[in-house]
Amino acid sequence: MHSAKAFANLTIIFYTIILVMNFTCCQMEELTSTSRPTQETHWQQRTSRPTSRNTVTRWKAAPNPNTYNCDYKDLLTKIHDRVNILVSTDEDQRKRLDNIEKKIVQFEASNLARMESLAVQQLNFHKRVDVIEHMQRLTRHSIDELLGEFEAYTKKFNHTDHNNKANIDLNELNTVRKARQLSQQYNQTILGGGGVGSGDNDFSNSQKLNAMAVFLVSLRTAVKDLQNDLQTNITRLLQQTGNLQRRFNNLMRRQLNQVSYLPPQLPSNVEPQLVTSCAQSELSVRGIVRLQLTASSEPFYVMCDSQSLGGSWTLIMNRFNGDINFERGWLDYKNGFGNLAGEFFIGLDKLYALTAAEINELLIILEDFRGNRKYARYNLFAIGNEHEMYELKLLGNYEGDAGDSFSYHAGSKFSTYDNDNDGCVDCNCAQSHKGAWWYNWCDQSNLMGPYHSTDYDKIEQYRGIYWQDWLGPSYSLKAVKMMIRPINWNQDGRRR
- Chain segment 414-430, per-residue pLDDT in tens: 999 999 999 888 899 99
User: In which domain, by residue range, is 476 found?
Assistant: 288-488
Q: Which of 111, 133, 155 is the last residue of a domain?
A: 133
CATH number of the domain within which 435 lies = 3.90.215.10
- Do 138 and 358 touch, CB atoms closer than 8 A? yes
Question: Does residue 19 belong to any structural domain of this protein?
Answer: no
Residue range 77-103, pLDDT digits in tens? 888 888 888 888 888 888 889 889 888
pLDDT of 3 reads 58
- Tell me the average pLDDT of the chain: 78
pLDDT at position 160 is 60
Half-sphere exposure of 260 (CA within 13 A, CB side): 11
129 within some domain: yes
22-26, 79-83, 215-219, 340-344, range with greatest mean pLDDT = 340-344
Confidence (pLDDT) at 79: 81
Quote the pTM value. Answer: 0.49
* Most confident of the ranges 46-60, 62-76, 451-465: 451-465
Q: Which residue has the higher pLDDT, 167 or 290?
A: 290
Is position 160 within any domain? no
Q: Looking at residue 232, what is its pLDDT? A: 84
Which residue among 81, 114, 133 closes a domain? 133
pLDDT on residue 15? 65
Question: Residue 449 and residue 277: Cα distance in Å, rounded?
Answer: 28
What is the predicted pLDDT for the residue at 184?
A: 62
Domain count within the chain: 2
**Higher model confidence: residue 14 or residue 373?**
373
Say what the pLDDT of residue 158 is.
63
**SS3 for 57?**
coil
Q: How far apart are CA 390 and CA 346, in angstroms?
A: 14
Q: Report yes or no on 213 lying in a domain.
A: no
Average pLDDT over residues 154-162: 61
Tell me the backbone φ, ψ of residue 483, rounded to 5 degrees. Answer: -135, 150
Between β-strands 373-382 and 479-486, what pairing exists: parallel, antiparallel or unpaired?
A: unpaired
pLDDT tens digit sequence for 433-466: 999 999 999 999 999 999 999 999 999 999 999 9
